Structure 1
Amino acid sequence: MKHLTAICTGTPDGYRIRVLAEDHDDDLVDLIFDWDSFRPASAGHRLIEHGYMIRPDARTPDTVNGWREVPSQPGTWSVSVMQTNGDTPETPPLVAERLVEAVSHWTEGRHDQAREVLADLARNGTPALMYGVATGLAVMAKAALAKMQGLDADTASWIILTTDGSRPEDFLPQPHLFAARFITAFANGDTATTLALYGAAFTAPDPELFSHCLEMLLAATGEAVRAATPGADR
């Protein structure tokens, strides 16, 4: 995998973020922001919106959200990044087949077997491939939800509602909230939000959170497909 580096440099008008590749002469990303100070979290989110994310191993105690000051270059920060699938998320055909298998297991009550398929994909998957896994599940969830509601999946707009009008983030565990938000954002075609959610889960301080989020995404998709299947035991 080629090495990618993001550089954030102070300018007279704000800050400039670039993404550089060791085998590429031109900048892969070149962004200008009118910040009055360096904003490491915002810089990470802007990278996600443009198809890159900070590598998990870059986040060490001596960095700021992975960013490290460049020696002898005041006002300049750098961080190692990886490419996601950008604005065109794709799920490889073999992975898609495994996801169908996992969701089928779930809908038929074989939850452990469904989780094992997901775990097998995670063991052999790159971060970009696992983003494809997440979007592949969201594709099935969106289709099932549209079928349940009798809606056109390509034109409907989706929001998260609760029965009592409360905010989901006030009571839902993080994996449940991730699944609800990811499916909703994907259904609305909001790639920037799906990437931001994925990046936040992938780089969370809790090493177990990412796998729990994907398992809940699988469970939510499986339940949606089961509910949309005529004659299913509900």
Structure 2
Amino acid sequence: MKHLTAICTGTSDGYRIRVLAEGHDDDLVDLFFDWASFRPASAGHRLIEHGYMIRPDARTPEAVNGWREVPGQPGTWSVPVIPTNGGDSVTQPTVSERLVEAVTHWTEGHHDQAQEVLADLARNGTPSLMYGVATGLADMAKEASAKMQGLDADTAFWIISTSDGGRPEDIVPHPHLFAARFITAFANGDTATTLALYGAAFTAPDPELFSHCLEMLLAATGEAVRAATMGALR
């Protein structure tokens, strides 16, 4: 695979993001945003929306969400990236089967086995594949939730609410909030939000947050499927 680099450059009107490939003269991506200042997290999210993701090994203490200032070029940042649409080491049917296996383990109370299946997928998967894992879990959660409520999964609109009417951000831990937001966005067909949530978790300064978010997504899905199955048996 050719080395790919994303460059974010400040201009008089905002910031320009380009993706460059070693040995190629043309830009793979060329975007412009009217930001007043450099936004490293937002820049990473915009890359995901256009088929590229910051390499995990770029996230170091010396970098800002993977981005580093280019020496001798004020207002210019760079980061190595990888494509999110190819090179998966596990085929999609296998992923689907393993997700069903993980959720089944969870509904049967075998939480450690369920998490091991998820960890195995993460060990062998690319960022693109793991986004597919997240959406696969969200799809099962969506169907289970619709079944419990007696709704049409394809026409229902979903929101997040708390028992006391407070803001979820103020009372819900980050991994729990990620799972709730991701499932809700997926159920509403909001791909831009699922990509943004995934990108934020993947590029978070805390290297453990991403795995915790996926584990909570698995737990939420497993509990939804378990509840829907129990309801069907009553």
TM-score normalised by length of structure 1: 0.88
- Secondary structure, in 3 states, of the residue corresponding to 1:161? coil
After superposition, the C-alpha distances for 1:88-139 in whole angstroms (9 at most, x for unaligned) are: xxx8110100100111111122222211211211221222211111111111
Q: CA deviation at 1:232?
A: 6.4
After superposition, the C-alpha distances for 1:33-66 in whole angstroms (9 at most, x for unaligned) are: 2233333333223223323222232223333332
Decide whether the 8 Å contact of 2:70 with 2:78 is kept in 1: yes
| Inter-partner Cα distance in structure 1 for 2:23 and 2:228 | 48
**Can you give the 5+ residue segments of structure 2 that lack an aligned partner in the other structure?**
none
Amino acid at match of 2:188: N
Decide whether the 8 Å contact of 1:159 with 1:184 is kept in 2: yes
| Inter-partner Cα distance in structure 1 for 2:57 and 2:102 | 29
Amino acid at match of 1:119: A
Decide whether the 8 Å contact of 1:182 with 1:194 is kept in 2: yes
Q: CA deviation at 1:24?
A: 4.7
After superposition, the C-alpha distances for 1:175-219 in whole angstroms (9 at most, x for unaligned) are: 111111111111112222212222222222333222221111111
Partner in structure 2 of residue 32 of structure 1: 32
Partner in structure 2 of residue 115 of structure 1: 115
Q: Percent identity?
A: 87
- Secondary structure, in 3 states, of the residue corresponding to 1:165? coil
* Pairing 1:92–2:92 present: yes
Q: CA deviation at 1:76?
A: 2.2
| Inter-partner Cα distance in structure 2 for 1:12 and 1:40 | 18
Decide whether the 8 Å contact of 1:69 with 1:75 is kept in 2: yes
| Inter-partner Cα distance in structure 2 for 1:149 and 1:24 | 53
Partner in structure 1 of residue 183 of structure 2: 183
Decide whether the 8 Å contact of 1:48 with 1:192 is kept in 2: no
Change in Cα spacing, 1:151 to 1:176, as seen in structure 2 (3 Å) is same
* Pairing 1:215–2:207 present: no
After superposition, the C-alpha distances for 1:143-178 in whole angstroms (9 at most, x for unaligned) are: 111111222222221110111111111111211111
Number of equivalenced pairs: 230
Change in Cα spacing, 1:60 to 1:110, as seen in structure 2 (3 Å) is closer
Over the aligned positions, Cα root-mean-square deviation in angstroms equals: 2.3
- Secondary structure, in 3 states, of the residue corresponding to 2:155? coil
Which range is displaced more, 212-221 or 43-52?
Answer: 43-52
Decide whether the 8 Å contact of 1:169 with 1:177 is kept in 2: yes
**Can you give the 5+ residue segments of structure 1 that lack an aligned partner in the other structure?**
none
